[in-house]
Amino acid sequence: MGFSATLPLSKTKITRCRAVAHSIGDEVATLVQEHSTVGVERTFLRLLGLNSATEQEEGLLYPTSNFIVDQVERTGRLVEGSLYWVANAMVAENCSLGDVEAAVLAGKLDVGTVKPQPESAVLKLGRLLARDGVAGLRSRVKNRSKIKRKLKDPAKLKRPLLYQIVATGNIYEDVLQAKSAVMDGIEIVAVIRSTAQSLLDYVPQGATTEGFGGTYATQENFRIMRAALDEVGQEQNKYIRLTNYASGLCMAEISLLASIEGLDYLLNDAMYGILFRDINPVRTLVDQHFSRLLCAQSGICIMTGEDNYMKTTDAVKSGDSVLASEFINERTALNAGLPTSQMALGHAMEMNPQYEKVILMELARAQMTRQIFPDSPLKYMCNTKYKTGDIMTSHVVDAVFNLLGACTNQGVLLLGMPTEAVHTPWLADRSLSARNARYIVNGAAGMGEELGYRSDGFIAKFAQKVLDDAVRLLERIEKIGFLKAIERGYFADVRRPATGGKGAKGVFRVGPKYFNPFYEMMNSRI
């Protein structure tokens, strides 16, 4: 028996997991090569600069990129890609991109029916447009990093960053709450989306003041919150990070808008959409690739949603599917050129607090995840499933969460709320939650380096078992195929067929002349 600063985990098994995840990633890569989606095609147009919107639909504006992709789709031309046909329209009309936009909005131009022009001229113009679009994005990203460099970065303190969510439905109310959270020591603010948004097949436009259980993700809302956090950050000489959600049917579009407006993190996980929002698997895996390419270009750190698996199953037993999914997410992110330092892989403290040794088991999982993904700013999520109206006890559970997070040096602590099971947090709830975390994270700084683990103890054995189970699970997934595994309920006990789900209509096989110069310009490995 001995003690060590780290858990004794088999390097061979970890390497084996990565090798299997690599082969699973190849299955996803093939899907990405063979397919595109209406979401990806709309994002191409947005990347060129087509970010306007018009016409009311249920009180919201409908984006130009949707109009154009709808036009191209209607005439069966989408198999060549949206960029090709926009460039074709510009060649045919001998006009600028702005002219095309104005004519489409005025109802005078249908990009889907413009007469095909000589291919070489269209491709030449298309490449130029794409290059300008990518260059424009890069220059915005550069400006953003200048702002960031001027402020002190809490990430350099080598302790978990404190993350909270605002969710009023009204962006201006959100601003007040976000600033308040920052005053109380919060370093990452997420604006949770309106609960219906993941299933909208377009991105709403403008500043919004109505939402259900959250606030719509729009470019303007991003801008408003970004400016507010920069302002309060300057007051405190501290760089405050902003998070939103690139999931659902507009994954890639949200990623682009977030890149333009200088967001720092995006929840970005196809598996979350597949399992919990019943989004078509192929649609969201293809969207995810372009989404992650954009994040890689923009320095945005993705967050993955494995924490959710633990909410619908017994978290003591779901460690293997969480770990397996983290390996798969790591691989698909690497395929999009994201460095591991930009992958906040997700997990959570969701075991039943009444289990004996539950804190030991949680510590085992948290430390194991830390060791297996040493460079990832892991996103560690508080307990939510077993929270009740007993708010004082919930506060104690959160304290244990904070201590485990600090001792295992997680990258981001998604802080718990005493009133988690009661309502969307009140201002004072957020403040109590922040005080709890500040005390513990500050007080336990460096504690993980002071203590060790018994090499043959309960904690080591629990972690080893999770890893063993994950190896077996990954091998089973590889054997039957990733899509089949999802279909059979290997993740979170939810079964989703590859052809079912929302947004399936928006997926298409690319044609032999499909035109997409973006992936190459953005150094895609697929």
Partner 1 sequence: MNEIDYKNLVPYGDTTGDGAVQFSFTFPVEPSPKAQEAAAQMVREWGFSDVKVAHMSSVGVGFAYFVIFGRAQRGVNFDKVEVPELTGQRLNYKEIDKRILEEIGRPIRVVGANTGFDAHTVGLDAILNMKGFDGDVGLERYRGFYTVNMGSQVLPAELIERALKEKADAILISKIVTQKDIHIADMKDVILHLRKRGLEKRFILVVGGPRVTHKLALELGYDAGFSIGSYPSDVAYFLLEKMLERIGKKK
Paired residues of 413 in beta bridges: 162, 380
Sites for partner 1 among residues 345-374 (CB under 8 A) = 352
- Phi then psi dihedrals of residue 515, to 5 deg: -115, 110
Q: Is 278 among the residues known to form the active site?
A: no
The single-letter code of the amino acid at 160 is P
Strands 343-344 and 301-303: parallel
Q: H helices within 262-306, ranges in order?
A: 270-277, 281-298
Does 426 sit near partner 1 (CB under 8 A)? Answer: yes
Paired residues of 412 in beta bridges: 161, 379
Q: Is 379 among the residues known to form the active site?
A: yes
Q: Which of 332, 346, 282, 344 is nearest to 492 (CA)?
A: 346
Among 180, 367, 394, 402, binds partner 1 (CB under 8 A): 180
Of 24-32, 115-123, 136-144, 195-203: span binding partner 1 (CB under 8 A): 195-203
Q: Which is nearer to partner 1, 48 or 437 (CB)?
A: 437
Among 40, 87, 181, 403, binds partner 1 (CB under 8 A): 181
Q: Which is nearer to partner 1, 427 or 480 (CB)?
A: 427
Write the binding mask 12 to 51 for partner 1: x where contact by CB under 8 A, - elsewhere: ----------------------------------------
Q: Is 307 among the residues known to form the active site?
A: yes
Does 230 sit near partner 1 (CB under 8 A)? Answer: no
Q: Which residues of 62-85 are buried (b: 16+ CB within 10 A; e: fewer)?
A: bbbbbbbbbbbbeeebbbbbbbbb
Q: 62: which residues sit within 8 A by CB, 6+ positions away? A: 53, 54, 55, 56, 202, 205
Q: Which of 395, 184, 181 is nearest to 192 (CA)?
A: 181
Among 57, 231, 314, 456, binds partner 1 (CB under 8 A): 314
The single-letter code of the amino acid at 98 is G
Residue 6's CB is within 10 A of a number of other CB atoms, namely 14
Strands (E), 12-159: 35-37, 53-57, 60-63
Q: How far is the CB of 296 from partner 1 (least distance, A)?
A: 29
Q: Which is nearer to partner 1, 163 or 453 (CB)?
A: 163
Q: Exactly one of 84, 202, 216, 272 is catalytic; which is it?
A: 272
Q: Which is nearer to partner 1, 41 or 187 (CB)?
A: 187
Q: How far is the CB of 137 from partner 1 (least distance, A)?
A: 31
Of 84-92, 260-268, 417-425, 452-460: span binding partner 1 (CB under 8 A): 417-425
Residue written as tokens 């500040």? 438
Between the two ends of the chain, the Cα-to-Cα distance in Å is: 47
Of 51-59, 124-132, 169-177, 456-464: span binding partner 1 (CB under 8 A): 169-177
Distance CA 8, CA 371 (A): 10
Q: How far is the CB of 431 from partner 1 (least distance, A)?
A: 4
- Phi then psi dihedrals of residue 91, to 5 deg: -65, -45
Q: Which is nearer to partner 1, 168 or 268 (CB)?
A: 168
Compute, in degrees rounded to 10, the torsion defined by CA atoms 212, 218, 222, 225. -40
Among 222, 276, 490, 491, binds partner 1 (CB under 8 A): 276
Does 504 sit near partner 1 (CB under 8 A)? Answer: no
Q: Which is nearer to partner 1, 180 or 367 (CB)?
A: 180
Distance CA 244, CA 188 (A): 11
Does 247 sit near partner 1 (CB under 8 A)? Answer: no
Which residues does the annotation mark as catalytic? 272, 307, 379
Residues that bind partner 1 (CB under 8 A): 169, 176-177, 179-181, 183-184, 194-196, 198-199, 212-213, 276-278, 311-314, 352, 385, 388-389, 421-424, 426-428, 430-431, 493
